[in-house]
A and B are shown apart, each in its own frame.
Chain A
Amino acid sequence: GAGVSQSPRYKVAKRGQDVALRCDPISGHVSLFWYQQALGQGPEFLTYFQNEAQLDKSGLPSDRFFAERPEGSVSTLKIQRTQQEDSAVYLCASRQGDSPLHFGNGTRLTVT
Protein backbone atom coordinates (compact mmCIF):
# COMPACT_ATOMS: atom_id res chain seq x y z
CA GLY A 1 0.00 0.00 0.00
CA ALA A 2 0.93 3.66 -0.19
CA GLY A 3 1.53 4.07 3.51
CA VAL A 4 1.28 2.38 6.89
CA SER A 5 -2.37 1.78 7.68
CA GLN A 6 -3.71 1.37 11.21
CA SER A 7 -7.16 0.47 12.42
CA PRO A 8 -9.27 1.36 14.17
CA ARG A 9 -8.46 5.06 14.23
CA TYR A 10 -10.15 5.44 17.62
CA LYS A 11 -11.04 2.83 20.21
CA VAL A 12 -12.90 3.30 23.47
CA ALA A 13 -12.74 0.37 25.87
CA LYS A 14 -14.17 -0.17 29.30
CA ARG A 15 -11.57 -1.04 31.94
CA GLY A 16 -10.98 -4.76 31.90
CA GLN A 17 -11.88 -5.28 28.24
CA ASP A 18 -9.45 -6.76 25.72
CA VAL A 19 -8.56 -4.77 22.60
CA ALA A 20 -6.81 -5.60 19.34
CA LEU A 21 -5.10 -2.97 17.22
CA ARG A 22 -4.14 -3.67 13.64
CA CYS A 23 -1.21 -2.45 11.55
CA ASP A 24 -0.79 -2.94 7.83
CA PRO A 25 2.78 -1.89 6.95
CA ILE A 26 4.07 -0.63 3.62
CA SER A 27 4.23 -3.55 1.23
CA GLY A 28 7.61 -5.27 1.31
CA HIS A 29 8.79 -3.60 4.50
CA VAL A 30 10.58 -6.20 6.58
CA SER A 31 10.82 -4.25 9.83
CA LEU A 32 7.77 -3.31 11.87
CA PHE A 33 7.69 -1.38 15.14
CA TRP A 34 5.01 -0.59 17.69
CA TYR A 35 5.25 2.55 19.82
CA GLN A 36 3.03 3.95 22.56
CA GLN A 37 2.62 7.72 22.79
CA ALA A 38 1.02 9.22 25.88
CA LEU A 39 -0.36 12.75 25.74
CA GLY A 40 2.44 15.32 25.67
CA GLN A 41 5.17 12.68 25.45
CA GLY A 42 7.32 11.25 22.71
CA PRO A 43 6.70 7.78 21.32
CA GLU A 44 7.92 4.98 23.59
CA PHE A 45 9.15 1.78 21.97
CA LEU A 46 7.07 -1.34 22.59
CA THR A 47 8.22 -4.09 20.26
CA TYR A 48 9.96 -4.85 16.95
CA PHE A 49 9.44 -7.50 14.27
CA GLN A 50 11.69 -8.55 11.44
CA ASN A 51 9.36 -10.42 9.10
CA GLU A 52 7.38 -12.72 11.41
CA ALA A 53 10.04 -12.89 14.11
CA GLN A 54 9.57 -10.73 17.18
CA LEU A 55 13.18 -9.76 17.84
CA ASP A 56 12.70 -7.22 20.59
CA LYS A 57 9.80 -6.96 23.01
CA SER A 58 11.69 -5.18 25.76
CA GLY A 59 9.33 -2.20 25.71
CA LEU A 60 6.10 -4.06 26.39
CA PRO A 61 5.00 -2.66 29.76
CA SER A 62 3.38 -5.81 31.13
CA ASP A 63 2.33 -9.31 30.21
CA ARG A 64 -1.08 -7.89 29.31
CA PHE A 65 0.50 -6.62 26.09
CA PHE A 66 1.03 -9.07 23.28
CA ALA A 67 1.98 -8.54 19.63
CA GLU A 68 2.11 -10.85 16.66
CA ARG A 69 2.92 -10.77 12.96
CA PRO A 70 2.26 -14.35 11.88
CA GLU A 71 2.83 -14.00 8.13
CA GLY A 72 5.39 -11.24 8.22
CA SER A 73 3.05 -8.51 6.98
CA VAL A 74 0.02 -7.40 9.05
CA SER A 75 0.64 -7.08 12.77
CA THR A 76 -1.76 -7.02 15.70
CA LEU A 77 -1.11 -5.51 19.11
CA LYS A 78 -3.38 -6.99 21.74
CA ILE A 79 -3.94 -5.54 25.18
CA GLN A 80 -5.73 -7.73 27.67
CA ARG A 81 -7.70 -6.47 30.67
CA THR A 82 -7.16 -2.84 29.72
CA GLN A 83 -6.36 -0.32 32.44
CA GLN A 84 -6.74 3.46 32.42
CA GLU A 85 -2.98 3.90 32.16
CA ASP A 86 -3.12 2.12 28.79
CA SER A 87 -4.89 5.15 27.32
CA ALA A 88 -2.54 6.49 24.64
CA VAL A 89 -1.97 6.64 20.92
CA TYR A 90 -0.47 3.42 19.59
CA LEU A 91 1.74 4.04 16.59
CA CYS A 92 2.95 1.47 14.12
CA ALA A 93 5.94 2.12 11.88
CA SER A 94 7.69 0.14 9.18
CA ARG A 95 10.85 0.39 7.13
CA GLN A 96 12.98 -1.51 4.66
CA GLY A 97 16.62 -1.98 5.59
CA ASP A 98 18.06 1.20 7.07
CA SER A 99 15.57 3.51 5.39
CA PRO A 100 13.77 5.99 7.68
CA LEU A 101 10.77 4.89 9.70
CA HIS A 102 7.35 5.49 8.16
CA PHE A 103 4.62 5.91 10.76
CA GLY A 104 0.94 5.14 10.48
CA ASN A 105 -1.70 7.57 11.74
CA GLY A 106 -2.03 5.66 14.98
CA THR A 107 -4.89 4.27 17.04
CA ARG A 108 -6.07 6.46 19.89
CA LEU A 109 -7.12 4.18 22.73
CA THR A 110 -9.23 5.56 25.54
CA VAL A 111 -9.93 3.31 28.52
CA THR A 112 -12.86 4.44 30.64
Chain B
Amino acid sequence: QKEVEQNSGPLSVPEGAIASLNCTYSDRGSQSFFWYRQYSGKSPELIMFIYSNGDKEDGRFTAQLNKASQYVSLLIRDSQPSDSATYLCAVKDRGRRALTFGSGTRLQVQP
Protein backbone atom coordinates (compact mmCIF):
# COMPACT_ATOMS: atom_id res chain seq x y z
CA GLN B 1 0.00 0.00 0.00
CA LYS B 2 1.32 3.38 -0.97
CA GLU B 3 1.93 5.66 1.99
CA VAL B 4 -0.02 8.56 0.52
CA GLU B 5 -3.03 7.79 -1.67
CA GLN B 6 -4.85 10.11 -4.04
CA ASN B 7 -7.41 9.52 -6.74
CA SER B 8 -5.63 10.24 -10.02
CA GLY B 9 -8.71 11.80 -11.62
CA PRO B 10 -9.27 13.72 -13.72
CA LEU B 11 -11.70 15.56 -11.50
CA SER B 12 -13.79 17.81 -13.70
CA VAL B 13 -15.78 20.70 -12.22
CA PRO B 14 -17.52 23.68 -13.84
CA GLU B 15 -16.14 27.16 -13.37
CA GLY B 16 -17.39 28.68 -10.12
CA ALA B 17 -18.01 25.34 -8.42
CA ILE B 18 -16.22 23.90 -5.39
CA ALA B 19 -13.50 21.37 -6.16
CA SER B 20 -12.86 18.79 -3.45
CA LEU B 21 -9.56 16.90 -3.50
CA ASN B 22 -8.89 14.06 -1.10
CA CYS B 23 -5.87 12.27 0.29
CA THR B 24 -5.35 9.44 2.76
CA TYR B 25 -2.10 8.48 4.46
CA SER B 26 -0.97 5.32 6.18
CA ASP B 27 1.41 6.48 8.95
CA ARG B 28 -0.42 7.55 12.11
CA GLY B 29 2.77 9.33 13.22
CA SER B 30 2.59 11.80 10.35
CA GLN B 31 2.86 15.35 11.61
CA SER B 32 2.54 17.81 8.78
CA PHE B 33 0.46 17.84 5.62
CA PHE B 34 0.95 19.85 2.47
CA TRP B 35 -0.88 20.54 -0.74
CA TYR B 36 1.17 21.41 -3.82
CA ARG B 37 -0.09 22.50 -7.22
CA GLN B 38 1.80 21.42 -10.32
CA TYR B 39 1.09 22.77 -13.76
CA SER B 40 2.08 20.57 -16.68
CA GLY B 41 5.83 20.79 -17.26
CA LYS B 42 6.39 22.94 -14.17
CA SER B 43 7.66 22.26 -10.67
CA PRO B 44 5.37 21.82 -7.66
CA GLU B 45 4.40 24.98 -5.80
CA LEU B 46 3.07 25.05 -2.26
CA ILE B 47 -0.62 25.94 -1.86
CA MET B 48 -1.23 25.21 1.81
CA PHE B 49 0.03 23.31 4.79
CA ILE B 50 -1.81 22.10 7.89
CA TYR B 51 -0.58 20.61 11.14
CA SER B 52 -3.64 20.45 13.41
CA ASN B 53 -7.00 18.71 13.14
CA GLY B 54 -9.71 20.87 11.66
CA ASP B 55 -9.90 23.42 8.88
CA LYS B 56 -7.43 26.02 7.69
CA GLU B 57 -8.55 28.65 5.22
CA ASP B 58 -6.48 30.81 2.88
CA GLY B 59 -8.42 32.78 0.33
CA ARG B 60 -10.32 30.38 -1.93
CA PHE B 61 -8.50 27.37 -0.47
CA THR B 62 -9.42 25.36 2.62
CA ALA B 63 -7.37 22.45 3.92
CA GLN B 64 -9.09 19.96 6.20
CA LEU B 65 -7.29 17.45 8.40
CA ASN B 66 -8.73 14.49 10.29
CA LYS B 67 -5.89 12.59 11.95
CA ALA B 68 -8.20 9.93 13.44
CA SER B 69 -9.32 8.99 9.93
CA GLN B 70 -5.87 9.69 8.43
CA TYR B 71 -7.48 11.92 5.87
CA VAL B 72 -6.62 15.35 4.50
CA SER B 73 -8.52 17.29 1.88
CA LEU B 74 -8.30 20.50 -0.11
CA LEU B 75 -11.36 22.50 -1.09
CA ILE B 76 -11.10 25.12 -3.82
CA ARG B 77 -14.03 27.52 -3.84
CA ASP B 78 -15.11 29.46 -6.94
CA SER B 79 -12.93 27.26 -9.15
CA GLN B 80 -11.30 29.01 -12.09
CA PRO B 81 -9.91 27.53 -15.33
CA SER B 82 -6.48 28.67 -14.10
CA ASP B 83 -6.86 26.20 -11.21
CA SER B 84 -6.62 23.34 -13.73
CA ALA B 85 -3.49 21.48 -12.66
CA THR B 86 -2.36 18.40 -10.77
CA TYR B 87 -2.68 18.69 -7.00
CA LEU B 88 -0.15 16.76 -4.96
CA CYS B 89 -0.72 15.79 -1.35
CA ALA B 90 2.47 15.46 0.72
CA VAL B 91 3.04 14.20 4.23
CA LYS B 92 5.94 14.69 6.62
CA ASP B 93 6.44 11.77 8.96
CA ARG B 94 7.81 12.09 12.48
CA GLY B 95 11.58 11.70 12.45
CA ARG B 96 11.99 12.27 8.74
CA ARG B 97 12.97 15.46 6.98
CA ALA B 98 11.68 14.48 3.56
CA LEU B 99 8.11 14.74 2.37
CA THR B 100 6.27 11.73 0.95
CA PHE B 101 4.08 12.64 -2.00
CA GLY B 102 0.98 11.07 -3.43
CA SER B 103 0.62 10.52 -7.16
CA GLY B 104 -1.54 13.62 -7.54
CA THR B 105 -5.10 14.37 -8.66
CA ARG B 106 -5.59 16.09 -11.98
CA LEU B 107 -8.20 18.84 -11.75
CA GLN B 108 -9.95 20.24 -14.82
CA VAL B 109 -12.08 23.35 -14.40
CA GLN B 110 -14.43 23.72 -17.34
CA PRO B 111 -15.16 27.32 -18.45
Q: A residues within 8 Å of B by Cβ? A: 31, 33, 35, 40-45, 48, 50, 55-56, 59, 91, 100-101, 103-106
Q: A43–B88 contact, CB under 8 A?
A: yes
Interchain nearest-CB distance for A47 vs B (Å): 9
Q: B residues within 8 Å of A by Cβ? A: 4, 6, 8, 34, 42-46, 49, 88, 90, 96-104
Q: How far is the CA of A48 from the CA of B4 in the complex (A)?
A: 20
Q: B103–A56 contact, CB under 8 A?
A: no
Q: A48–B98 contact, CB under 8 A?
A: yes
Q: B49–A45 contact, CB under 8 A?
A: no
Q: A44–B101 contact, CB under 8 A?
A: yes
Q: B99–A45 contact, CB under 8 A?
A: yes
Contact of A105 among B42, B46, B49, B97 (CB under 8 A): B42
Q: How far is the CA of A100 from the CA of B51 in the complex (A)?
A: 13
Q: B43–A106 contact, CB under 8 A?
A: yes
Q: How far is the CA of A35 from the CA of B97 in the complex (A)?
A: 13
A35: nearest chain-B partner, CB-CB? B101
Known A100-B34, A106-B43; judge A45-B98 contact (CB<8 A). yes
Q: How far is the CA of A56 from the CA of B90 in the complex (A)?
A: 18
Q: How far is the CA of A55 from the CA of B97 in the complex (A)?
A: 9
Q: A103–B97 contact, CB under 8 A?
A: no
Q: A101–B97 contact, CB under 8 A?
A: no
B4: nearest chain-A partner, CB-CB? A42
When distances are taken between beta carbons in the complex, the residues of chain B under 8 Å from A55 are 97
A106: nearest chain-B partner, CB-CB? B43
Q: A101–B99 contact, CB under 8 A?
A: yes
Known A42-B88, A100-B34, A100-B49; judge A56-B98 contact (CB<8 A). yes
Q: How far is the CA of A45 from the CA of B93 in the complex (A)?
A: 13
Interchain nearest-CB distance for B17 vs A (Å): 25
Q: A43–B101 contact, CB under 8 A?
A: yes
A-B contact pairs, 16 of them (CB 8 A): A33-B98, A35-B101, A40-B103, A41-B104, A42-B4, A42-B88, A42-B101, A42-B104, A43-B44, A43-B88, A44-B101, A45-B100, A56-B98, A59-B98, A100-B34, A105-B43
